Amino acid sequence: MARRLARRGVDLSVGSFTIRLRSNIPCVARGLELLYADYALGPAQELVDFEIRIHPPGVLRRWLRPQVTFSFEGHAPFKPLPRAQAFALFEWGLNWVIANNAHQYAIVHAATVEKSGRAVILPGMPGSGKSTLCAAMVCRGWRLLSDEMALISLQDGMLWPFPRPIGLKNASIDILRNYAETVVIGETVADTAKGTVAHMRPPRTSIDAARTPACARLLAFPTYKSGAPVEALPLGKAQALMRLVQNCFNYSVLGAAGFAALADTVDRCECLSIEYGNMARAIEILERRAMNGEHG
């Protein structure tokens, strides 16, 4: 794997995208082997959607300290990061690539999961607890669509999966490690811009269903508050749409089509805000609302 990754690269099929990754950084190869173990990792093909490289920067920077650079189509949109963050940089960079290029979707900063054909969108800013909640729901049998972005088709409003390793931060890492026996978590990296980070391997079932879209039925804006009781409050649809707009990465690019896609999503969903300190109870409420929601 490491040799193939460093030379011709590896083509990674995730949902409706094929990404070619090349890297000579050992922790990227280790991350792929562990966290993308269940994906189709084919040899380089003729056509891919996106080409990404994770590589050491120029000579002077390399001489100063061991760092890595993210390159997309030959350009480096970010400053180099410490070498230990190379795998996380791949994940963060891939999010950026999709958010800036996949304009066939309205892309909302949100975790998305599905069960029995009913998808839940959990939008939220960093620190809202959406990824932790999403990871815990996945451990409880929900299908992972994405822990980072809701891909809402402009054509038919369906949510398209983009299941990748779930990004966990700080205390969430140990919470999830202890949450279920089957959880596989990759290397922990301290002192990143987001604190200590690690990624959780998605379930095989979610990867196998990565080309099956789902219909959103519940739009829940989570806020984690340590020790707080779970409180789910109905959210008006106009308010919900404004919050969805605020969390949409490519809203300004999409124009009227983006507005229509988000408004239709709100129309389809029961909308609520949920403050929680107890994950199991929050999941119970979300499941009940998703399965028995007002939209049948």
Partner 1 sequence: MPSLALSSRLRFLKRTWDDGCVVYVVDSGETHLLSSACALLLERLESGSASLRVLSDEFLSLSDDLTQEELSGLLEDIIRSLRKIGLIETGENQP
Instruction: Compare residues 116 and 246 and give the one whose CB is closer to partner 1.
Output: 246
Q: Tell the smallest beta-carbon distance from residue 181 to partner 1 (Å).
A: 44
Q: Tell the smallest beta-carbon distance from residue 248 to partner 1 (Å).
A: 10
Question: How far is 102 from 193, CA to CA, in rounded Å?
Answer: 26
Question: Within 10 A of 136 (CB to CB), how many other CB atoms are there?
Answer: 23
Q: Tell the smallest beta-carbon distance from residue 96 to partner 1 (Å).
A: 22
Question: How far is 211 from 280, CA to CA, in rounded Å?
Answer: 29
Residue 294 binds partner 1 (CB under 8 A): no
Positions in 267-286 near partner 1 (CB under 8 A): 267
Binding segment for partner 1 among 22-30, 161-169, 215-223, 230-238 (CB under 8 A)? Answer: 230-238
Closest CA to 72 of 91, 57, 53: 53
If phi > 0 it is left, if psi is from -120 to 50 it is alpha, else beta; for residue 230 that is beta
One of 37, 171, 228, 238 touching partner 1 (CB under 8 A): 238
Number of residues in contact with partner 1 under rule CB under 8 A: 16
Residue 236 binds partner 1 (CB under 8 A): yes
Burial environment of residue 233 by CB neighbours within 10 A (0 to 12, 13 to 18, 19 or more): exposed
Residues 6+ apart with CB under 8 A from 276: 129, 133, 222, 223, 224, 225, 228, 230, 231, 282
CA distances from 76 to 79, 227, 283 (A): 8, 42, 39
Q: Tell the smallest beta-carbon distance from residue 256 to partner 1 (Å).
A: 5
The 241-270 site mask, x for binding partner 1 (CB under 8 A), equals xx--x-----xx--xx--xx--x--xx---
Question: What's the DSSP call for residue 147?
Answer: S
Residue 233 binds partner 1 (CB under 8 A): no
Instruction: Compare residues 168 and 269 and give the one whose CB is closer to partner 1.
Output: 269
One of 71, 239, 250, 273 touching partner 1 (CB under 8 A): 239
Chain centre distance of CA 100: 15
Q: Tell the smallest beta-carbon distance from residue 253 to partner 1 (Å).
A: 10
Residue 59 binds partner 1 (CB under 8 A): no
Phi then psi dihedrals of residue 97, to 5 deg: -60, -50
Residue 237 binds partner 1 (CB under 8 A): yes
Contact residues for partner 1, defined by CB under 8 A: 236-239, 241-242, 245, 251-252, 255-256, 259-260, 263, 266-267
